Amino acid sequence: MRTRKVTIKDIATEAGVSIALVSFVMNSKADGKDPHRVNKETAQRILAVASKLNYQPNNAARTLRSGKTHTIGVIVSDISNKFFADIARCIEDRAYKHKYTVLFGSSDENPGKLENLIEVFRNKGIDGLIVVPCEGADAAICRVAQENLPIVLLDRQVANTNLSSVVLDNRRAGAEITKALIRRGFTRIEMISYSMKLSNIGEREEGYRIGMAEAGLGGNVRIHQLRHDKLRKIDEIIRDARQRGVEAFVFATNTLALSGLTAIFRNGWRVPEDVAMACFDSNETFDIYKTAVAYVRQPIERFGTEALDLLIKSIEQQDETTTSTRIVLTPEIVESAPPATRPEAKEAIWE
Amino acid sequence: MRTRKVTIKDIATEAGVSIALVSFVMNSKADGKDPHRVNKETAQRILAVASKLNYQPNNAARTLRSGKTHTIGVIVSDISNKFFADIARCIEDRAYKHKYTVLFGSSDENPGKLENLIEVFRNKGIDGLIVVPCEGADAAICRVAQENLPIVLLDRQVANTNLSSVVLDNRRAGAEITKALIRRGFTRIEMISYSMKLSNIGEREEGYRIGMAEAGLGGNVRIHQLRHDKLRKIDEIIRDARQRGVEAFVFATNTLALSGLTAIFRNGWRVPEDVAMACFDSNETFDIYKTAVAYVRQPIERFGTEALDLLIKSIEQQDETTTSTRIVLTPEIVESAPPATRPEAKEAIWE
DNA sequence: ATGAAAGCGCTAACAC
DNA sequence: GTGTTAGCGCTTTCAT
């Protein structure tokens, strides 16, 4: 049978003090505050007994008493998507250092699911939320914020709000990846994107337009918008584009690029000999076969750490002044054959 | 400000009964037991008030009182590995239906990390554990079991124990995937595996040996064992093998196959024209480029559901009789060009 | 500098 | 059938 758990009461008895003092010592230790209130020797003794008995605070009791769960919820589009999986792991690692536990969920770009997940998480009890908004979930997200639950948006923003968020400078990324293609000599460049109304997607499209326009190729601009649940349509888009003499594609997301590559293959074309492509983030397939002429490298780790730090700050601040912070991360363009270009620009931080 | 949480006390007041009765009704409702102890009308009234007030039980209080956290821990090798990520999601989904919360962690094949994760999870409070054992973690795992924390092993077993587990019939998988290659006309087939002492890897190697031997190719058997943190060595292994006229490789894991493919490419060979390969599970790259001649499809979903069900059963059983169950899943061989072979054999379940 | 005591919300043994 | 009550382990005033 499992030996009974050690409680502060046991420590109090063993050290010959009251449980209140034990509690106080355990907590001041962590915070490093109130360093003089307790007799140094008594504190030492208590700490010694605690570690001798291998004391582990009971989370449920602490939560019940304090109302703080030390747990946060993270809702992404799809946790099995590498971009989000990697971010999730960063968040998890960093949360661990702050002694927070993380609950994960996937919305699958479905506002109903997202709303349900928020509900589930709130019932389980969370101190804050990091969420990748999906189309149609704006209302649900704003409601959370209104109820004063700390929240940080990731990867995408919600229009007409000033919630804290961590996003990429997608406009710039779109423009630069387009220019990379242009530098390689392509002029007939089209974009394949989603029909979803998402801030990041929209900005990437805008960036593509800017990149083309600045090179005097505004006339060639063409953006194909697919429904994310009808990816097979990409087949005919690509076939048609090829017939019209399109030389290169900019894919708005990695998933889209993978579907595009599959479609290109089904049509018997080779990459990059017959059709060139550029996309957002790389993946194993692209790495091995040197598929993409260039891609946007998103600073995955910073997405995670910045979002978590923002959230923790928001959770642990005492005062009610809701300062929202927007962090805009800088993209990096990686080109395949010529040595990579690494823009060292600093990021814009709006507070 | 957030409105105060509604508690059973509020319901009791509103319904004009005691909090004990409210508690009792809330719990019997779920279990469906003791259906006659409470007056039907009273129960109805309580339930009505509860839903009117949108009552949500306080988890911390429940946990503090009952000692049950309704949380389980899942430790895999690497949650960013698709095989484990997919299983994790199945476990999560199914756990949700049982009203359990899941905590995830990755050992990175490091016994120290695994042990630490077990410790962390135990401190957070979990009712049970699903773990993919890694080399050198046997002692730590057995200790958990000895302390009566319900545990289920996944994907791999621990030698000389009879802990509950859900694994693939790896010997059979190894033999059949080898035979698939032989049917395609290859005879000079070698295996690339890990040097780690893992039950699943060992059995796959054994299967390969059996497959070769049964085809009278025992003389060609050769297994290359790599350290999982020295994957670059695969380059020279493959180069050397090619020089010796090897026609095909069986890769012991998907990761290994991906490294192998990269190495083959670096050497300028084509797949499957120059070198053929077979592996465990597919992936995007293999799917798109039709790389593997054949692969073993593991029943991902069943790994997850069986493991979770086993664990829940073990957690919720009252009696102390520790019956351990071993579930052996049947592999499916998927061949690329000829229509797939789908063995319909039933699984062996040892209780 | 330290202790006493009041609960946080819930469950379960027992009383009526 | 329903109510009373004693905590689960901890934090946090308020005394001393």
What contacts A10, CB < 8 A, 6 or more positions away? A53, A55
Residues A172, A330 contacting (CB under 8 angstroms): yes
Q: Quote the pLDDT of residue A331.
A: 98
For chain B, what percent of residues have pLDDT higher than 70? 91
pLDDT in tens, A309-336: 999 999 988 666 678 999 999 999 999 8
CA atoms within 13 A on the CB side of A98: 22
Q: Which residue is nearest to nucleotide D7 (CA to C1')?
A: B65
Q: Quote the pLDDT of residue B37.
A: 76
Distance of A98 CA from D14 C1′ (whole Å): 32
A:B CB pairs within 8 Å? 87
How far off is chain B from A209, nearest CA to CA, in Å? 30
* Closest-approach residue (CA) in chain A for B54: A123
Going by C-alpha positions, the residue among B299, B298, B260 that lies closest to residue B277 is: B260
Distance of B11 CA from D7 C1′ (whole Å): 22
Q: Which helix (H) or strand (E) holds A85?
A: helix A82-97
pLDDT in tens, B226-283: 999 999 999 999 999 999 999 999 999 999 999 999 999 999 999 999 999 999 999 9
Between residues B200 and A80, which one has the greater pLDDT? Answer: B200
CA atoms within 13 A on the CB side of B105: 28
Do A284 and B284 count as a contact with CB atoms less than 8 A apart? Answer: yes
Which of the 8 DSSP states describes residue A267? T
Split at pLDDT 50, 70, 90, the class of A347 is very low
| A271-274: Cβ within 8 A, 24+ apart | A274/A242
Tokens for B99? 């009203």
Q: What does the CA dihedral B187, B188, B192, B198 come to, rounded to 10 degrees?
A: 50
For residues A84-102, give the mean pLDDT.
94
Q: Quote the pLDDT of residue B333.
A: 98
Cross-chain CB nearest to B258 (options A59, A82, A284):
A284
For chain B, what percent of residues have pLDDT higher than 90? 84
pLDDT in tens, B293-328: 999 999 999 999 999 999 999 998 866 667 899 999
Cross-chain CB nearest to A80 (options B58, B85, B283):
B85
Answer yes or no: is pLDDT of A238 > 90: yes
Do B64 and A69 count as a contact with CB atoms less than 8 A apart? Answer: no
For chain A, what percent of residues have pLDDT higher than 90? 83
For chain A, what percent of residues have pLDDT higher than 70? 91
User: Which stretches within chain B are classed as H helix?
Assistant: 8-15, 19-31, 40-52, 59-66, 82-97, 111-124, 138-146, 170-183, 199-214, 234-243, 254-266, 284-289, 300-316
Ranges of beta strands (E only) in chain A are 71-76, 101-106, 128-131, 151-154, 165-168, 189-194, 223-226, 248-251, 276-280, 294-297, 326-329, 332-335, 348-350
Cross-chain CB nearest to B60 (options A63, A85, A96):
A63
Average confidence score pLDDT of chain B: 91
pLDDT in tens, B65-117: 999 999 999 999 999 899 999 999 999 999 999 999 999 999 999 999 999 99
Position B199, amino acid: S
Q: Quote the pLDDT of residue B211.
A: 98
pLDDT in tens, B20-37: 999 999 988 655 555 567
The residues facing A194 across adjacent strands are A226
pLDDT in tens, B128-149: 999 999 999 999 999 999 988 9
Bin B31: left if φ > 0, else alpha if -120 < ψ < 50, else beta.
alpha
Q: Quote the pLDDT of residue B80.
A: 87
Question: In A, what residues contact B, Cβ < 8 A?
Answer: 1-2, 56, 58-61, 63-64, 69, 79-80, 82, 85-86, 89, 92, 96, 101, 103-104, 106, 120, 123-125, 147-149, 258, 261-262, 265, 283-285, 287-289
- Residues of chain B (47-106) having a beta carbon less than 7 angstroms from strand D: 61, 64-65
Q: Quote the pLDDT of residue B342.
A: 39
For residues A53-63, give the mean pLDDT.
93
Q: Quote the pLDDT of residue B123.
A: 87
Split at pLDDT 50, 70, 90, the class of B336 is confident
